[in-house]
Amino acid sequence: LVDAGCSMRQVKNSLLDFDTSIEKIDAIFVSHEHHDHISKVAQLSRRFDIPVYASIKTWRNLPFYDDYFPWERHIFEYGMKIGEMCVDFFRLSHDAVEPCGFVFGYQGKRVGIATDTGLITSSMLRQLADVDGLVFEANHDCSMLRQGSYPAFLKHRVAGEYGHLSNDQAVEALSKLVGINTQQIILAHLSEQNNCPKLAYRAVRTALDRMNLDIAVSVAPGKTAHPLVAI
């Protein structure tokens, strides 16, 4: 499980919808310490005895740091394996201490996750090149953000290099990342105020069509689970 910012019931029900259960989760990975990503991590981990993994600096900034014994604070390592799944991670550019994205490898397939980044980082491009499946941030439409109701400082934060990727930046990154193996892109972390799913979808779909690539694109709903995707 990557991050846990929604209610425990939502996590449990979503997993049940996918014919699995919270008891089958072997690890929770924390991408960064922002509240919307970690608010239910400790609760889930304690209740269901699931180990939590984060970078060293992120651990130190987690509000539940002191509630965990040192040996319970699992740290990201290069070449990590959880059961049969390989896990790699890479740096993002975000206003958190050590934000990370992930690549999960299993039986020759790789799935990447990258949200909460203001820049397309070089390690992101390296790690996510030609992944089979990709959950990727398309946070805002630039003109919606500009004309929207956010205060100026927040507009700066979102659009800045430690903020979030716009639809245009997502298009730019995805055009570089997709390859012959890429089957599915799920756009994620859309702003409710500064984006709309149709705009994000259209921007990416148009770019991929121009490249003549037949890759499925969908948008992750904010409050409910995206349907299960098999890669």
Residue 157 binding Zn ion, by CB under 5 A: no
Closest residue to Zn ion, judged by C-beta, is: 34
The stretch near Zn ion (CB under 5 A) out of 29-37, 74-82, 118-126, 197-205 is 29-37
Q: How far is the CB of 115 from Zn ion (least distance, A)?
A: 6
Backbone φ and ψ for 81, nearest 5 degrees, come out as -135, 135
Q: Compute the distance between CA of residue 209 and CA of residue 95 in angstroms, rounded to an integer.
A: 33
Alpha carbon distances (Å) from 59 to 20, 83, 88, 221: 28, 22, 18, 28
Which of 1, 6, 10, 34 binds Zn ion (CB under 5 A)? It is 34
DSSP string, 149-176: SS-HHHHHHHHSTTS--BHHHHHHHHHH
Which of 88, 98, 116, 137 binds Zn ion (CB under 5 A)? It is 116
Q: How far is the CB of 31 from Zn ion (least distance, A)?
A: 8
Q: How far is the CB of 100 from Zn ion (least distance, A)?
A: 11
The stretch near Zn ion (CB under 5 A) out of 41-49, 78-86, 111-119, 168-176 is 111-119
3-state secondary structure of 12: helix
Q: Is the dihedral of CA 149, 135, 13, 81 positive or negative?
A: negative
Q: Which residues bind Zn ion (CB under 5 A)?
A: 34, 116
